[in-house]
Amino acid sequence: MKLKLITLSLLGGIALSACNNTGNSTQSTGVTTESNALEKLSSKNAIDTTIDVTDLNPQDWQKDWQDQISTLTTADKQRLKEVGYYVKAAKINIDNVYPGSNNNPDNVKRIERLMPKDNFERTFPLLISQNKVNGFYPAQTYSYTNFLRAAAVVPAYCGDFSDYPGDKTAEMANPDNICKRMLATTFAHAVQETADMSSIGLTNINDKIARTFASVAEANATPEARGAVERYFDATGPFATNGAHYAQIQNNYYYGRGAKQLSYPSNYANLSLMIYGNLLLLENPDLVQGDNILPYLSSIVYAIQPKNGRPSIAEVMDGSFKKYAQGNAATYAKMGFPFTVALVNGGPECKGQNHENTQTRIRAFRYFSESGRLFTSGFSLTAAEETATNCDNVDYADASIYAASQRYYYFDSSCKLVKWDSGNPIFGGSGYRDIMCNAAPTPSPEDKPTPPPTPAKTDYDGYKITVINDSMQMGIDKLHIRDLRGRDEGFDLAYVKENASAIFPDVTPWDVDKLVKYNNRSVVISYSPTWEQGSDIVHTYTCYPFDLTENVTVVIHPSSKPGENQCYTYPSDEE
The pLDDT tens digits of the residues spanning 302-328 come to 999 998 889 999 999 999 999 999 999
Cα(224)–Cα(222) distance, integer angstroms: 5
pLDDT tops 80 at residue 86? yes
CB 214 within 8 A of CB 196: yes
DSSP string, 128-139: G--S-BTTB-HH
Question: Given strand 501-504, what is the order of strands in its sheet?
Answer: 501-504, 465-469, 552-557, 566-570
CB 139 within 8 A of CB 130: yes
What letter would DSSP give residue 371?
Answer: B
| Residue 543 Cα distances to 184, 281, 474, 523, angstroms | 41, 28, 17, 10
Residue 548 identity: L
d(CA 546, CA 105): 44
- How many whole angstroms separate alpha carbon 564 and alpha carbon 66? 24
Q: What is the pLDDT at residue 522? A: 75
Question: Is the per-residue pLDDT at 384 higher than 80?
Answer: yes
Q: Which residues contact 315 (CB under 8 A, 6 or more apart)?
A: 86, 306, 321
Q: 380 by DSSP, 3-state: which?
A: coil
pLDDT at 301 over 80: yes
Higher pLDDT, 446 or 7: 446
Contact indicator for 232, 266 with CB cutoff of 8 Å: no
Q: How far apart are CA 507 and CA 106, in angstroms?
A: 54
Instruction: Spell out the domains of the chain, with CATH numbers in brackets.
Output: 453-575 (2.60.40.2890)
State CA 119 to chain mean position distance: 31
SS3 track for 184-237: HHHHHHHHHHHCCCCCCCCCCHHHHHHCCCCCCEHHHCCCCCCCCCCCCCCCCC
Mean pLDDT of the chain: 82
Query: Which residues, in sequence order, are bridge partners of residue 257?
Result: 217, 262
**Percent of the chain residues topping a pLDDT of 70:** 80
pLDDT for position 566: 80
Q: Which sign does the torsion angle of CA 460, 461, 463, 466 carry? A: positive
- The backbone torsions φ and ψ at residue 377, rounded to the nearest 5 degrees and listed phi first, read -125, 135
**Cα→Cα distances 47→8, 54, 56, 425, Å:** 7, 19, 18, 27
Pick from 171, 185, 493: nearest CA to 361: 185
Residue 143 to residue 213: CA distance in whole angstroms: 10
Query: What does the pLDDT average to over 17-38?
Result: 33
The pLDDT tens digits for 327-370 are 999 999 999 999 999 999 998 999 888 999 999 999 999 999 99
Among 31-45, 278-292, 337-351, the range scoring the smallest mean pLDDT is 31-45
Task: Kindly indicate the confidence band of residue 244, based on its pLDDT and cuts at 50, 70 and 90.
Answer: low
Phi and psi at 126, nearest 5°, equal -65, -20
Residue 90: other Cβ atoms inside 10 A: 16
- Nearest-angstrom CA–CA distance, 15 and 437: 9
